[in-house]
Amino acid sequence: MPDPSLTAWRAQFWAPVASFRDPLFPGLSHGLPLAPPSTARGLLAAATGRRSEPLAFGMASRAEGGGVDAETYHPISTDGSNPALLGRVRAVKGGATLRERPFLAHVHLTVWLPGADGDRIARALRRPRWPLRLGRSQDLVHLLEMQRTSLRPTSVATVGHALAPTGGHDVPQATVHRMAACVSTDRLTTAWSDYLWCDTPAGPHPVRDAYEDDSGQAVWLLAP
């Protein structure tokens, strides 16, 4: 069982459109169905203005829909050539190309922020240091609500769309996603981890090493 009961903030976000490219498929337009933990950490760091936010937090994510659009990519020449094109590679030399981009629509993200660090981040979310984005720089996210809650150790709770470590539960419809847990501040190193996530909401199930909040929602605190 996890540690005794904790107090935490439950922050709920919404983004009209967001896109999370899966870096495990280089060169392909493959999107993740939810925000990875590293993206949520970047969102929190934008609020506080710090280079990173290494606290353990819980999260749940879902989208109401999605689709695919087309984007024009402009490769940049590394040798500084083509100054008239601002460094872009000419079209006749493998330059601008059209690619598909999977996106999610009406993205809902909930994070649980425990302890003193949670209090600090909750204060920052009321007056963020930097614009809050979910994923790409143009995908702004809106803070809808923040509430105080308590997290109690539990063996049965509503799993919903919560992100859990592997072994956190045995919900049949859950799938395993390998995603970035955190990214170094110089962006040269990424720590990966496997997570369980349910595309369709899962009701009450036996859970392991989990908490539940005052609504009965299962919460797993994810370490960086």
Domain ranges of the chain: 6-219
Confidence of residue 70 (pLDDT cuts 50, 70, 90): confident
Quick one: pLDDT at residue 136? Answer: 81
The angle that helices 37-48 and 115-126 make with each other, rounded to 10 degrees, is 60
pLDDT of amino acid 193: 95
The more confidently predicted of residues 22 and 118 is 118
Give dist(CA 12, CA 147) in Å, integer: 9
Fold exhibited by the domain 6-219: Alpha-Beta Plaits (3.30.70)
- What does the pLDDT read at residue 92? 53
Give the model's pLDDT for residue 62.
96
- pLDDT for res 218: 98
Whether 90 shows a pLDDT value over 90: the answer reads no
Q: What does each C-alpha distance from 96 to 20, 75, 81, 160, 198 come to in angstroms? A: 22, 6, 15, 42, 38
Q: What is the mean pLDDT of the chain?
A: 89
Decide which of 210 and 89 is more confident.
210
Contact between 40 and 111 under an 8 Å Cβ cutoff? The reply is yes
Is the predicted pLDDT of residue 142 greater than 70, yes or no? yes
Is the model more confident about 96 or about 214?
214
Is residue 180 classed as helix, strand or coil in its secondary structure? Answer: strand
SS (H, E, C) 52-81: CCCCCEEEEEEEEEEEEEEEEECCECCCCC
136-159 mean pLDDT: 95
- Of residues 58 and 28, the one with the higher pLDDT is 58
Give residue 187's pLDDT band: very low, low, confident or very high (50, 70, 90): confident
pLDDT of 85 strictly over 70:
no
Residue 157 has pLDDT above 80, yes or no: yes
Q: CA 10, 120, 128, 39 torsion: positive or negative?
A: negative
- The answer, yes or no, to whether residue 95 has pLDDT greater than 80, is no
pTM of the model: 0.87
Could you tell me which of 29, 26, 107, 102 has the C-alpha nearest to residue 64? 107
Does pLDDT of 61 surpass 90? yes
